[in-house]
Structure 1
């Protein structure tokens, strides 16, 4: 054992012995004298249960047992108010953008107004992000891989955006409350040196934006770690997101109080996190996803499903890079009334102002070559043995815009995927007509 490690161990033994002697004297005087003793008992028992779980051989069963130790404390100790629900099993969180978190070991959610979006035999559950306060990832022994994996899982939750919500009536607004849930990494032990743990957390933070950083890392028999700035560690989202001069802070557990610090910060995070009413309709059909973006076809399944003559149905998709290109170009494009765009495409003058006012709604037309709309928005197809003219573009919703993407560009730039089996781009002439 190194000199520094031995010195830390000696300090811990002295302080813990002093604390336990004081607790013993106070216990002779009265039954309850504060949470210090109660949490010392809880932490001691949790570490005993953790060591007993080492008798289990299968890794999956070991992990489940150790999740259950923490879940039991949260559910049965009586220290969490009933308004905070604890997931019965590992679960996932979904958002109205179509994105979903990785599997989370423990969810803290609103048990009164939340619903479970999907459930399979109490093994697989999905909750809406609007109802989830935060998540906890539980690890047995933290090593470098487990730190990276745990922080990445937490980030997959913290990336989720909630649906826009406008409260009605009188609302007391607390600007420090977070609309983004929190994430905590919890472990029982670690073989890593103190500075190695800090370096691993730092490395993840430097590679990811502030808003997906965890709100704390707790190792039950060692201490806890917080991101911070200058001389102070921070755990509220609003503070973490505003960190400029980043530093890591470590707090060694010298008096067996790590569980209490975990609990204390957890309660503060719960009280500091807003939840909101669930708009069920927003989850009826989720949009498609392309990395961080999401999108959908305005005509739904009529446009989403392509048909290959050789391989049958396939899902038409937009590659993330192509969607980024579309969104970036259309953001700069001049919006145009959708009726006016159709008029111009059919060769009309586009001056029916009154009609356009009666049917408002702007669209962006993807037209990087600045071609006449009549050349790219109208096409021919066979219907009943006759050649007919029809609209020749997909309508895509993404990034708050409705975008018209002519089949001309879809085929030329391979914007929308074709049959994945034959690698052919299927440029549909009409969502109501034949499909290649």
Structure 2
């Protein structure tokens, strides 16, 4: 029964199309007529959750597709960015597939279809769940100026420089047949989307073309799950809205983290470094307290930059008030200073020598620090 229904629809579709286009001379109006005919009939057989629109598709990086004839998108999960005069700008995350509709599919029209669908399938998806499915791209033609075999040859030729996963999913020529991806392994199973494991196959079924197109489109729609777009990402990545924010210092949580030099650092570490640094640069340190603050300030800075003290280059230096001090010397003295067990006289001399050097330099700049903090 379904086949009989769709065959009668196919015949009526061609009659309607021929009747409309015979009295419409303007190309733009002809195009609108053919798209409307296909859209109206598809709506009769596809669930209401799917919406059909005309317009452009955009991603969160503000990259836009070329204009496509029919956008099939989720009726309930699509935030329209623009909706004027029945032309919409739709976020790519809400789109199941697009259909290019042609009255006569010439090689040049096929080339436009390939480029238009590629522009859609190249868009980046950013959903609230970080999961997404590929968007399908189909071509529906009422006729072609060449045989289906020639259309097949042209499709492969034009698609040669297009990434496989950005290619057309289905080409239907209503009075001739369909071109679909077929799995290379066995070359018997139809695939919904082209991939490295598929090759296009020709289905010479002129009488059943509409039925097969409908079934393929339905299968594609049923196999795709739409996750809502991350609209905050749209705002942030395009700088359309200022989404910068601040948190008052008193409310910054100690267990929060921020990225510094590709390393996640806890707020408590930052506050600790700030407290030691503030005390160190106050100019008020006594010698007996000096190494504690000097080490914590220097070592924490090295950890922020290099992530590990073992990764600090042997020839790197600390600019200590204009005097270069080898970082490895500081690290070695720090490890001795922090050791819980006994240290040898030689080790004590290493720590004392560094303390005397750094404190002398510090003391020479004490007046300047006190003045800056007064």
* TM-score range for the pair, normalised by the shorter chain length: 0.5 to 0.7
Match of residue 118, structure 2, among 142, 155, 165: 155
Instruction: Calculate the aligned-residue CA RMSD, in Å.
Output: 3.7
Q: Distance in 1 between matches of 2:11 and 2:296?
A: 77
1:71 maps to 2:39:
yes
TM-score, structure 1 as length reference: 0.54
1:101 is aligned to 2:65: yes
CA distance in 2, matches of 1:113, 1:299: 23
Q: 1:269 and 2:223 equivalent?
A: no
What are the within-5 Å matches in structure 2 for residues 405-424 of structure 1? Answer: none
CA contact (8 A) 2:127 2:229 kept: no
Instruction: Report what 1:384 is aligned to.
Output: none
The 2-side partners of 1:189 and 1:282 are apart by 42
In structure 2, the partner of 1:251 is: 203
Distance 1:54 1:196 in 2: 27
Matched, 1:198 2:164: no
Task: Find the counterpart in structure 1 of residue 55 from structure 2.
Answer: 91
For structure 1, the 5+ residue unaligned runs are 1-33, 168-172, 289-295, 301-333, 344-348, 363-371, 375-436
Q: Taking structure 2 as the reference length, what is the TM-score of the superposition? A: 0.63
Aligned to 1:236: 192
Matched length: 267
Kept in 2, the 8 Å contact 1:119–1:126? The answer is yes
**Greater share of helix residues, 1 or 2?**
2
* Alpha-carbon distance change, 200 to 355 in structure 1, aligned in 2, over 3 angstroms: same
Distance 1:92 1:127 in 2: 6
Structure 1 segments (4+ residues) deviating >4 Å: 334-340, 349-357
Match of 1:38 in 2: 5
Distance in 1, Cα, partners of 2:164 & 2:209: 25
Do residues 140 (structure 1) and 140 (structure 2) align? no
Structure with the greater alpha carbon radius of gyration: 2
User: What's the offset of the Cα at 1:352?
Assistant: 4.9
Question: Where in structure 2 are there 5+ consecutive unaligned residues?
Answer: 245-260, 278-294, 308-316, 320-374
* 1:292 paired residue number: none
Shift of 1:135: 0.8
